[in-house]
Amino acid sequence: MNKALIVLIAILNLASAGALASPRAEQGWQWIEQGALVVDVRTPQEFQAGHLDDAINFPLSDLAQHFANIDKQQAIVVYCRSGARSGRAYDYLISQGFTQVHNAGGFEEMQQSR
């Protein structure tokens, strides 16, 4: 009986792990694998504490300056700590004519999806 219970718990844990995956983070990874520019919109201090591989730090407060010379057709994945700032960055970039932008959510959310 105990062995069956352990197996059942293990199966439920595996099934729930997939359910916790974030669709927006998963899609962000797909874009990244296809060559999208990865932009962390957190503060430089947050970025220094940890960031995704190949990410560049364009803080939300400086987006206009950083994106002034970037092709509006460039695929871009934005993320932050929780998804709120990256949501604002997404809205800003779309309003400026960028056509391929994805809000992948938060840093931890992205890490948990990998």
Instruction: Determine the Cα–Cα distance for residues 101 and 98; give it in Å rounded to an integer.
Output: 7
Give the residue numbers annotated as catalytic, written as ranges: 80
Q: How many Cβ atoms sit within 10 Å of the Cβ of residue 13?
A: 9
Paired with 101 in beta bridges are 76
End-to-end CA distance of the chain: 35
Spatial separation of the C-alpha atoms in residues 86 and 71, rounded to whole Å: 19
